[in-house]
Amino acid sequence: QTVVTQEPSLTVSPGGTVTLTCASSTGAVTSGYYPNWFQQKPGQAPRALIYSTSNRHSWTPARFSGSLLGGKAALTLSGVQPEDEAEYYCLLHYGGAQLGVFGGGTKLTVL
Amino acid sequence: EVQLVQSGAEVKKPGESLKISCKGSGYSFTSYWIGWVRQMPGKGLEWMGIISPSDSDTRYSPSFQGQVTISADKSINTAYLQWSGLKASDTAIYYCARHIPGATTVTTRIDFWGQGTLVTVSS
């Protein structure tokens, strides 16, 4: 059973920078896992932010960026805004990108 | 405008069957895979499986294989998620999501999501 691991919680100050990571139990995350990142606020459906490691959707603010860092997928928020407080999920693809596995989510607090 | 509109909330008893739906509009429904994602109360997202509406090719997460059935009717741009015998542990919000196919892979990303369907299973 493949497990995708994220930090359970992180706290950042308004205007600061924070990096969330996403690790795979199978080993280093590469671009072939096509990492995606999603934001979910309470009572709302998830919203797509990043795909294929580092590509923003047309609606994704430029302060969100994706990368590979130390064998993990990473989501960096620069110039954090109060409205960025949310749960963030990564999604990795396995089996030749036929199946997906979500990480457990990171609760980001802006304080 | 791309939209995925899901059917309304359901309250069912254990052992009952259920089929919920996700209707796509604003795009070519058969050109994208539709997936289903579970979110149990207070918990994270779980990827359940996907279907290609063009030919009903379906892939399931091992965790959900045999537990649910994913289907689609391309004539009415609708995908479905069904259970034949619900359990209390099936209580969750279920989201459908549009999956973009890759050049040589089944899927590489999700872009649009439905609003979610709350399924409550209780005696």
Per-residue pLDDT of chain B (123 residues; tens, 9 = 90+): 999 999 999 999 999 999 999 999 999 999 999 999 999 999 999 999 999 999 999 999 999 999 999 999 999 999 999 999 999 999 999 999 999 987 777 788 999 999 999 999 999
- Predicted local distance difference test score (pLDDT) of residue A74: 98
Beta strands B10-12 and B117-121: pairing type?
A: parallel
Residues of B with CB under 8 A from a CB of A: 35, 37, 44-47, 50, 59, 61-63, 95, 97, 100, 102, 105-116
How many angstroms separate the CA of residue A110 from the nearest CA in chain B?
Answer: 20
- Predicted local distance difference test score (pLDDT) of residue B107: 81
Residues in chain A closer than 8 A to B40 (CB atoms): none
Residue of A52, A96, A104 lying closest to B109 (CB–CB): A52
* Buried-exposed string A68-90: b where 16+ CB fall within 10 A, e elsewhere: beeebbbbebeebeeebbbbbbb
How many angstroms separate the CA of residue B75 from the nearest CA in chain A?
Answer: 25
